[in-house]
Amino acid sequence: MAVNKEVYNEINKAFSKQSITLVAVSKTKPVNDIQELYDWGQKDFGENYVQELVEKESLLPKNTRWHLIGHLQTNKVRYIAPFVYMIHGIDSLKLLKEVNKQAEKSGRVIPVLLQVFIAKEETKFGLDEHELYELLQNAVDFKSVSIKGLMGMASFSNDERVVRSEFRYLKSLFDNINSNINLYHAPLTILSMGMSSDYKLAIEEGSNMVRIGSLLFGARG
C-alpha cells in the first residue's frame, strides 16, 4: 500500500489535539492514493501544479478541500478560481489582484496566504518583510480575497538552528501584523509552515497548518 496509514493516524491524532491543520501534499501521486486518504477522513490536500490540480479535482469528491501550495502564475488563476479552497503562494500584488478578479467572476471569496521568503536559498519564492507590509496595505480594497495568514518554507538544512530561526522569524512577522491591526487590516489566523522534514520544529515555533507529502505518500520519484 502506497499510503502510510500508521503515520497518518499518528500525525492526525497529534494535530487534532493541538488544533493544527494537516494539508496532505499529493502532488505527483495517483488519484487512488488520494481517495484512500480521503476515505480515512482526510479532507485537505495540497497540490503544486494547476493542471494536475484541475485534473484531480474533477476525479475526486466535491467536498475535498484543495490547497494550491506551489508557485502560481497569473495566467493560470482562472482555472482554479471556481473551486480552490485556499491559495498559499501569493507573492505579488499582481497575483493577488488576479485572484481577486477571478474570484469575483466565480462569485466567491477565495482565502489566501501570503508567501514570505524566509530561507537562505535564492531559489525560493516569496515576499520580503517590506513587500509583505506593503502588500497588506495595498490589499484593503480587494473584496473577493480574504487574507488568512502567512506561508513560508525554511532552508533545506540539517542544521536545526537555521531552520528554527527561519520559522521563528516568520512567526514574529505574523505576531507583528496581528499587533498592528489598524495598519495591516489583520487579524491573521493561519501560519502555514513545516513539511515532512521539519514539521515538528515548525509546530514548536508556532505553526498551525502543516503541509506534509512524502511522509504520508512515500517519496516522490
Examine residue 139 and tell whether it contacts ligand PLP (CB under 6 A).
Answer: no
- Of the ranges 5-13, 72-80, 100-108, 206-214, which one interacts with ligand PLP (CB under 6 A)? 206-214
User: From the list 65, 93, 196, 218, which residue makes contact with ligand PLP (rule: CB under 6 A)?
Assistant: 196
DSSP annotation of 196: T
Examine residue 70 and tell whether it contacts ligand PLP (CB under 6 A).
Answer: yes
User: From the list 111, 149, 152, 213, which residue makes contact with ligand PLP (rule: CB under 6 A)?
Assistant: 213
3-class SS at 179?
Answer: coil
Within 62-185, strands assigned E span: 65-68, 86-90, 110-116, 145-152
Phi and psi based region of residue 125 (left: phi greater than 0; alpha: psi -120 to 50; beta: remaining): beta
Query: From residue 79, how far is each of 50, 96, 139 by CA, in Å?
Result: 7, 15, 22
Examine residue 191 and tell whether it contacts ligand PLP (CB under 6 A).
Answer: no
Examine residue 202 and tell whether it contacts ligand PLP (CB under 6 A).
Answer: no
First to last CA, the chain: 16
For cell 497569473, the residue is 74
Among residues 142 and 163, whose Cβ is nearest to ligand PLP?
A: 163
Among residues 142 and 167, whose Cβ is nearest to ligand PLP?
A: 167
DSSP assignment string, 104-117: HHTT--EEEEEEE-
Examine residue 86 and tell whether it contacts ligand PLP (CB under 6 A).
Answer: no
User: Per-residue x/- marks for ligand PLP, 13-42, CB under 6 A?
Assistant: ------------x-x---------------
Residues near ligand PLP (CB under 6 A) are 25, 27, 48, 69-70, 153, 195-197, 211-215
